[in-house]
């Protein structure tokens, strides 16, 4: 039976850190559903459809490279409910540092209480991207800095094109 994982986030914008976790998920799952969280009261740096399109392009490269099936969806409910809706038995989360662990550990406890049939799996960020955060990418971009070391090429182009 194929193992399906659910990797959720705002992905605003998608970074090389996100790409790292998507790629490395292939060692854990046969199919990965990347869930872009939609918060109707929040205006994103990139609009939701742009993030979905960028992630689909990124994921198609991972699929070709690893053989893992990948799908990108949006969701506006609890991640455990979205995971269950897409047939996931694993929630994949990336960890950059101890602060991420503290937060994700608490979230995993909440998720396990709400959905004990879904396992939480933490993947440590590769050292080359362990410092990358969407927040910093947004700040660097807003100040006219070069974001190309931190995001996939298609993301850098999309951000440059919107300016």
pLDDT in tens, 26-60: 999 999 999 999 987 778 899 999 999 999 999 99
What does the radius of gyration of the chain's CA atoms come to, in whole angstroms?
15
User: Is the previous residue joined to 13 through a cis bond, with omega within 30 degrees of 0?
Assistant: yes
CB count within 10 Å of CB 3 equals: 13
pLDDT band (50, 70, 90) for residue 143: very high
Q: What is the pLDDT of residue 84?
A: 97
Contact call for residues 125 and 92 (beta carbons, < 8 A): no
134 has catalytic annotation:
yes
157 has catalytic annotation:
no
For the chain, which domains are there? 4-162 (3.40.50.620)
CB count within 10 Å of CB 30 equals: 14
Contact call for residues 17 and 125 (beta carbons, < 8 A): yes
Q: Which of 56, 84, 85, 96 is catalytic?
A: 96
96 has catalytic annotation:
yes
Per-residue pLDDT tens digits for 86-111: 999 999 999 999 999 999 999 999 99
Q: What is the pLDDT of residue 163?
A: 65
CA angle, 104 as apex, 124 and 112 as ends, to 5°?
115
Q: Which of 25, 59, 134, 141 is catalytic?
A: 134
Q: Which of 18, 31, 51, 93 is catalytic?
A: 18
pLDDT band (50, 70, 90) for residue 112: very high
pTM of the shown model:
0.95
């Amino acid at each position: 039976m194929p193992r399906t994982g659910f990797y959720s986030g705002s992905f605003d914008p998608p970074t090389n850190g996100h790409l790292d976790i998507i790629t490395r998920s292939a060692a854990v799952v046969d199919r990965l559903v990347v869930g872009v969280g939609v918060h109707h009261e929040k205006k994103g740096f990139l609009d939701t459809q742009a993030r979905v399109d960028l992630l689909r392009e990124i994921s198609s490269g991972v699929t070709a490279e690893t053989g893992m099936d990948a799908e990108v969806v949006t969701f506006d409910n609890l991640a455990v409910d979205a995971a269950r809706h897409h047939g996931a038995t694993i929630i994949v989360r990336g960890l950059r540092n101890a602060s991420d662990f503290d937060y994700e550990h608490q979230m995993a406890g909440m998720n396990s209480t709400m959905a004990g049939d879904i396992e939480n799996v933490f993947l440590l960020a590769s050292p080359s991207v362990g410092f990358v955060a969407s927040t910093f990418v947004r700040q660097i971009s807003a100040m006219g800095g070069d974001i190309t070391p931190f995001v996939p090429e298609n993301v850098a182009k999309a951000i440059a094109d919107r300016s």
